[in-house]
Structure 1
Amino acid sequence: MTLETLSARADALRAEIGKTVKGQEEIIDLLLVALFARGHVLLEGPPGTAKTLLARSFAAAFDLEFGRIQFTPDLMPGDVLGTSIFNFQTNDFTLTKGPVFSQVLLADEINRAPPKSQAALLQAMNERMVSIDGTDHSLGDEFLVVATQNPIEQQGTYPLPEAQLDRFLFKLVVDFPPQDIEMAILQAHAAEPIETRATMDAQDKVMDATILAECRTIIDGIILQDDILAYILRLVRATRENNEISYGASTRAADAIASAARATAALAGRDFAIPDDVKGLFVPALRHRIVLGPTAEIEGRGPVQILENILDQVEAPH
């Protein structure tokens, strides 16, 4: 496979997913980058903005197994990972696998479960394996977590700990589509009965796990120039020196931006990254990783505004 073929496949994926999820082109682009860069994604948006549909459409277009966990206050780690049950016929324990054993996992409303249940995903997201009763079980290299949370309803929720947030490559904010797109959705739905609308089963498979692995091999071969790496490092270190930020981004965050920059370049058909690639990734990659200080909170400044100021202040390579 060549870079041109990879870029063409990406265009086909965008078109196919866009058939079911309309008006979210930027979110689809960054989800593609995350999957090719082996990263996980946190989607934040109000109900009814197609977050679940987006995750299901991705799994269908890539022909990957889809799993879903509805996070609730009574969810237990065993409900996520699975449990070993004693089999009286074989006189041995048999593992009943939980929903984490899938290739694209939707962690729906992840902040509604207590921290111990959220923590059940920490090893899975970082190592792509889980340990159950002392035995390691691989989840496969394709494993992708798409977690969702609702920004407008905080009653009965638990904040995601920093260790969990740092394992998400991107935090993407899903908003309502533009008025013309929203009207087109309503018109399309009004023109056909619910039972005849397109389903995920009818969606074309553009790629599979084997082709995904080939694409990742090409992306891994892209070498970032030292000036791009230095630019990423300057941006990340600037978050640690900003007086409005209590805790800046980690080294893992810098490495994540570098991986995403390689994927972004490859999806554009280039074997090199440019400063604009890094600029487009900086806010979604760091908005959930920084902790604001009291000065920013008092003045009502949010992470996006502060990160955009850092982008303006740090000189990009020419």
Structure 2
Amino acid sequence: MLCRTADLIAEAHASGFGIAAFNVITLEHVQAVADAAQRTGRPAIVQISQNAVRHYGGDVMPLAAATTAAATSSGARLAMHLDHVEDVELLHRTAECGASSVMYDASRLPDEKNTAATRAAARWAHDHGLFIEAELGEIGGKGSAHLPGVRTDPKDAARFVAETGVDALAVAVGSSHAMVTRAAALDLDLISRLRDEVPVPLVLHGSSGVPHPTLRSAVEHGMTKINIGTLLNVAFTRAVRRALAEAPELVDPRRYLTPARSAMTDTIADCLTALTAPASP
């Protein structure tokens, strides 16, 4: 069933469990999230990034429609979220496409401009009944919030939330986007300090590079929403390569997309079991 992101995050935040959010690119990604959530009895968030929208010619509606259809027909609790949205036009299509939340990303801007742009985005989102996540980004010339070595200062994070009114904050604690090996180490003490200073749920981006035990520790120390994308693509691509290597004559995409979808489903189910509370009986 299609749920509201705000409800899933609020439940996870209150219970001390994480809520896993998976970035999707193809219909197979969407089906894999729905199938894994159904299999495990866990809720999940399906995320469509601005990059994924760009892949489809800039139109969010086809992938959003597929996500809505998959969620509506599933017995699992699924929410739809737009991720890393920098374009205001796409931001303003959040409700129209069926998503109940958006991550507005002005983190490339200098701090004052990021704060102003995010405040305006949060105002718009709340006027339309939407949950909004943001990212603090560059402070004092530190560069991108997810470059190695960059860390979010708890005081800066608390100030940013107070000045913008966002509902959740993505923080830099040691993970990086697009990691294909699970070797990232998180600053768990910093997560605890952020939890104590910041009055909204914390979000971990770049979680594909973090081992499950460390992700569980991150949740125990205060992280709520765990974003996972590259891990699915690694499983997908490995399965496709294996299928084509075993049968080079294959031309029917169903013959290699089926094992790719199955591999992603197993990967997602493993993440959900590790991070997310089971459904209530």
Which structure has the larger Rg?
1
TM normalised by structure 2 equals: 0.30
TM normalised by structure 1 equals: 0.28
